Amino acid sequence: MATKSNELQRKFEERDEHFLTVVEKAVFLQNIEIFSQTKTEDLARIAAITEEKEFEKGDIIFKEKDRGNSLFFVISGEVSLRRGDKEIRHIYSQGNFGDLALLDNKPREFTAVARDHTHVLEINSDEFYELIEEHVEITRAVFKSLTNQIRRLVERLEEHPA
């Protein structure tokens, strides 16, 4: 499926207008780890609540300690995550950031800055909670994916004890 997502990214970059259909958003989301266990029809539901946003180089997407109320997926471009003056990591196409905020609405732990022209999908936590209340199968799929991520982290920690 990564090929379809790469093709989608290429098509997006070639367009004059940068708006994705719900189907294109769903295709993109199926390659994001947190939604990897989610059925196609549920991906379409999630895609329908996403909002597309574009940022120019240097734009601040959100600041450290801002209320965390959404999750972002990078369609194209690059985002720098910073804590104070220190860069923590970079997020590229098909990457996501702010995932903990989607689940707990706690203040942001870092500042997110566009490193170049960047196009993202954003999911608001209130809308996501409404969706998962109506469609519990989405909750199950997200929990399966999160559980898989936790298992991999535990395995890595066991392989490299402190």
DSSP state letters, 17-61? S----HHHHHHHHTTSGGGTT--HHHHHHHHHTEEEEEE-TT-EE
Q: Are 90 and 115 in contact (CB under 8 A)?
A: yes
Q: What is the pLDDT of residues 53-72, one digit of tens each?
A: 999 999 999 999 999 999 99
Question: Model pTM?
Answer: 0.80
Is the pLDDT confidence value at 7 over 90? no
